[in-house]
Amino acid sequence: MAAYVSRLNHIALHVANADRIAFDLVAKFRFNLFAARQTTAWRQLALRKGSAVFLINERLKDPSPDAPLCLAADDLSAGSDSTCLYGAQLSSRVDTACNVCFEVEDGQRAFSALRGRGCHFVVPPTPVEDHEGLVVYSVVKSIVGNVCHTLVDRTGYRGEFLPGFREMHSITDGQRGHETQTCSITHFDHITYACPRGVTSDVMRWYQSNFGFQRFFIGRNEDVNEGYVLDQDGIGLRLTAMEFWKCSESGVRLPFKNNQEPDCKLVIAESLSNQGPNQVDSFLEQHGGPGIQHVGLYTQDIVSTAHTLTQAGVEFFSPPPAYYTQVGKQQEILNAGHDPQLLSRHGILLDTDLRQDATDSSHQVLPSEEKRYLLQVFTKPIFAEDTFFLELIERQGASGFGEGNIRALWRSVQGYMEGNTEDLQKQNTERISVETSQV
Ligand SMILES: O=C(O)C(=O)Cc1ccc(O)cc1
């Protein structure tokens, strides 16, 4: 039986300089530092925006060779000094996003179920407690590169984050009234893996059978086995997606309800060989293997969020200049209630969801005449290497990933990779102002 996860708790990053990444997430992306842990061996910082939480881990010194890999019974209260709490003691030569931590209802049961299915645990069920209560966590290795999943049972914990962390008095989203309007990031929308050729079906099977994830069809013409294939005009990409559901441990499936717990998708991106070098291969090379390529941050207002983040110094990719001037695009943008010039200023892409069976985020079938739009923009990589980046995404009824956007997102990153440094945004804006005056 699968170990059903009840929600996403956090995404962990292992980096060489935690303060630098934390500074960027706070100063540029408007996250709040709300919990921290410091030992002689580890610096761990937890940052939150809405329900999206990043845990940044920095190893300060190598643990002594005889330090235990996981906690011994007498280390329970705060974790031993040499332990990276809620993570594996992995070492990576580059900064990496490498752990997706899920909450489970019964830590011991999840461990037994997964071990029974042959999963490899790098940390067995381990209790940690402080004055707010007790959690039990374990860490299972996925079959995707360095990606692990911490499974945390925090049903016996009252604190804000996890035991062993000192809570910080940060400004909450609620207190930042104005900021919530100008930077309305609410949750993780999706996590995208970059994978080598030929592994997608194994990865899908692993998540479906071990965690009960459900297949999510990205496009209308998507083949069950092939996934969503874009294999022409210089794009060689196979995308396959899954969504995870709020499930009871008994296996009864309960879809997240709108306004309660939004769902999060897992996207597997595999490059296809015949279209030349590309961003997935470049990730694999620079990262040293498969892993988390990007994370989509959901925003209720992508234009104001992109504007706020740009002012704070975040750099976004721009699509090729022709994107905003292609036939029908401006009308499509206007129909969706947006200003083509504003979208082009920030490199924001807009797609209309044409799937006949499109559903909204509460999984209700939408009336066919209702238009569904998807808006997206990618940031430049947030680490020193061209690896991990973030994405802003706003869904106006659309639940998938629009083909037009995927093509444009792909090309915007390709242009950057190929050293295309000309100021595309400026060109776009100039073209658009001419065009809009003619609409
Ligand atoms: O649209 C998204 O956010 C995706 O996740 C699809 C995707 C995946 C990988 C790429 O290099 C480009 C686009």
Residue-wise pLDDT tens digits, 124-172: 999 999 999 999 999 999 999 999 999 999 999 999 999 999 999 766 5
Give the position of tokens 């381990």.
126
Model confidence band, residue 273 (pLDDT cutoffs 50, 70, 90):
confident
The per-residue pLDDT for 402 is 81
Write down the residue that tokens 């999943």 correspond to. 149
Predicted ipTM? 0.98
Cβ–Cβ under 8 Å, residues 204 and 268: yes
Over the range 332-354, which residues count as b (16 or more CB within 10 Å of their CB) and which as e?
A: bbeebebebbbbbbbbbbbbbbe
* Atom in ligand 1 nearest the alpha carbon of residue 280: 11
CA distance 99 to 203: 16
Return the residue whose CA atom lies nearest to atom 9 of ligand 1: 269
279-287 helix and 403-417 helix, angle to the nearest 10 degrees: 60
Half-sphere exposure of 116 (CA within 13 A, CB side): 10
Lowest mean pLDDT among 69-73, 174-178, 364-368: 69-73
Half-sphere exposure of 231 (CA within 13 A, CB side): 12
Cβ–Cβ under 8 Å, residues 248 and 271: no
Q: 53 and 31 in contact (C-beta within 8 Å)? A: no
* Residue 194 alpha carbon, nearest atom of ligand 1: 9
> Quick check: pTM over 0.90?
no
pLDDT confidence tier of residue 410, bands split at 50, 70 and 90: confident
295 Cα to the center of ligand 1, angstroms: 10
Q: What is the CA radius of gyration of the chain?
A: 22
Q: Using the predicted structure, report yes or no on whether residue 253 has a pLDDT greater than 90.
A: no
Looking from the CA of residue 393, the nearest atom of ligand 1 is 3
- Report pLDDT digits (tens) over 82-122: 889 999 877 788 999 999 999 999 999 999 999 999 999 99
What's the CA gap between 142 and 291, in Å, rounded? 10
Q: 303: closest CA among 184, 172, 404?
A: 184
Q: Whose CA is nearest to atom 7 of ligand 1?
A: 406
Distance from C-alpha of 15 to C-alpha of 43, rounded to nearest angstrom: 10
Q: Do the strands 52-59 and 7-14 form a parallel or antiparallel pair, or are they unpaired?
A: parallel
CA torsion angle for 128, 129, 133, 139 (degrees, to 10)?
A: -10
C-alpha 119/C-alpha 16 separation (Å) is: 29
Instruction: State in Å: Cα 330 to ligand 1 middle.
Output: 23
CA-nearest residue, atom 5 of ligand 1: 192
Residue ranges lining ligand 1, Cβ < 6 Å: 192, 239, 267, 269, 279-280, 296, 376, 391, 401, 406, 409-410
For residue 164, the one-letter residue type is: G
